[in-house]
Amino acid sequence: MRVETMPLVTNKILAHYDANARILPWRSPPGGTRPDPYHVWLSEVMLQQTTVAAVKAYFATFTQRWPTCADLAHAEDADVMAAWAGLGYYARARNLLACARQVTQGLDGQFPETEDGLRALPGIGPYTAAAISAIAFGRRAVVVDGNVERVIARLFAVKTALPAAKPEIYGWMDSLTPQDRAGDFAQAMMDLGATICTPKRPLCHLCPVAEDCWGRSEAEAYPVKAAKLPKPERLGRVWWIEVEGHVALIRRPAKGLLGGMRALPSCDWAGDDAPPPFAGDWQPLGAVTHVFTHFRLTLQILALRLPKQPTFVFDVEWWPIDRLHEAGLPTLFTKAAMVACQG
Ligand code: SF4
């Protein structure tokens, strides 16, 4: 693609967006008033590592319960963690609260407009800062998420493998990003990646820039990816302790994986031979597997059903089993609870 054709490509993508923009709860229509920065920030944090389909319901719950950044800032930590349950990557929820409080208390409730200002806030990295600055404030910023990465890698037939290709991809996106409507352009590229330039079987015949695309003839070969190493395996045990329709739950330590979340008691995931917390007629119920970013975990479930509450060396909450869906358990422990309830 020649340098002089870049603005034409940009305009084609924007024109396609004007006619076909996805309607999403956190968005404003193309060319309309800018969306609320609180909504843009909340949706962008939720969308990190999570699909649009999964985020919609959580976004609705959060904005109904905490309609403004100040409302969220004044929420109880436990309520926000419970409302986040199931979205995964729980450090995001802790950063969400820290960020809402910093904006409310330190910045008079106003999100900064610049990428630098936004990046100084908890949980906002380069991508999220660029997205908020462009979409909520109309500033020129180069926004590259996974969808944009794929479209650019194909459009310019980027031969370098990811992640080494990131600076090159950013450079191409920079060349295409217009001075005006950078937010619309970012969303146009995201939509193109989500609906037409899909990972498998892209719909090139519907693509507004098909005739400009260098990678079209072998689209699925892009983006080139470095070979993945298998994830390390970890093993552990989880305890289902049931007394008269209630199950023992703990609160995980604030720092670390699934920090601050309610959970079933479990060992430290360093092996599947950890002794139960006390002696009893523990019954094996099977196992659950969950894949985290850096490892794959398999937990053996051991269950004990007792006539009265035992004495614990750690704090527990006795939670009604028929209301377990309200406990805000992370997916790993929800899976274990489902096995235990069937066992
Ligand atoms: Fe993607 Fe095909 Fe469009 Fe190229 S022509 S950007 S591969 S959808």
Q: What is the band of 161 on the pLDDT scale with cuts at 50, 70, 90?
A: very high
User: What is the domain-level CATH number for residue 255?
Assistant: 3.90.79.10
What residues form DSSP beta bridges with 265? none
Mean pLDDT computed over 117-138:
96
Structure tokens at 184: 């619309």
**Active-site residue, 220 included:** no
List pLDDT tens digits, range 198-226: 999 999 999 999 999 999 999 999 999 98
177 and 54 part of one domain: yes
Mean pLDDT computed over 321-330:
93
Residue 54, domain member (yes or no):
yes
175 and 241 part of one domain: no
31 and 163 part of one domain: yes
215 and 253 part of one domain: no
Alpha-carbon span 30 to 36, nearest angstrom? 14
Structural domain span for residue 217: 3-221
Strands 233-243 and 283-291: unpaired
Q: What is the band of 228 on the pLDDT scale with cuts at 50, 70, 90?
A: confident
Domain count, the chain: 2
Report whether pLDDT(343) > 80.
no
124 and 213 part of one domain: yes
Residue 227, domain member (yes or no):
no
33 and 57 part of one domain: yes
207 and 238 part of one domain: no
Higher pLDDT, 270 or 2: 270
42 and 114 part of one domain: yes
CA distances from 19 to 16, 92, 136, 273 (A): 5, 34, 21, 59
User: What is the domain-level CATH number for residue 196?
Assistant: 1.10.340.30
Residue 196 CA: which ligand 1 atom is closest? 8
Q: In sequence order, what E strands does the chain have?
A: 233-243, 246-251, 262-263, 283-291, 296-306, 317-320
This prediction has a pTM of 0.78
Helix residue ranges, H only, 69-198? 69-73, 77-84, 91-106, 115-119, 126-137, 146-155, 166-176, 182-195
Report whether pLDDT(249) > 90.
yes
Residue 43, domain member (yes or no):
yes
Q: Are 205 and 158 in contact (CB under 8 A)?
A: no
pLDDT the model gives residue 200:
96
159 and 263 part of one domain: no
Report whether pLDDT(279) > 70.
yes
Q: What is the band of 283 on the pLDDT scale with cuts at 50, 70, 90?
A: very high
Q: What is the band of 251 on the pLDDT scale with cuts at 50, 70, 90?
A: very high
Mean pLDDT computed over 267-288:
92
Residues with CB under 6 Å of ligand 1 are 151, 154-155, 196-197, 202, 204, 207, 209-210, 213, 215-216, 219
What is residue 161's DSSP assignment? P
Q: Ligand 1 center to residue 201 CA distance, Å?
A: 10
Higher pLDDT, 251 or 255: 251
pLDDT the model gives residue 105:
95
63 and 200 part of one domain: yes
Q: What is the band of 63 on the pLDDT scale with cuts at 50, 70, 90?
A: very high
For the chain, the average pLDDT equals 93
Q: What is the band of 5 on the pLDDT scale with cuts at 50, 70, 90?
A: confident
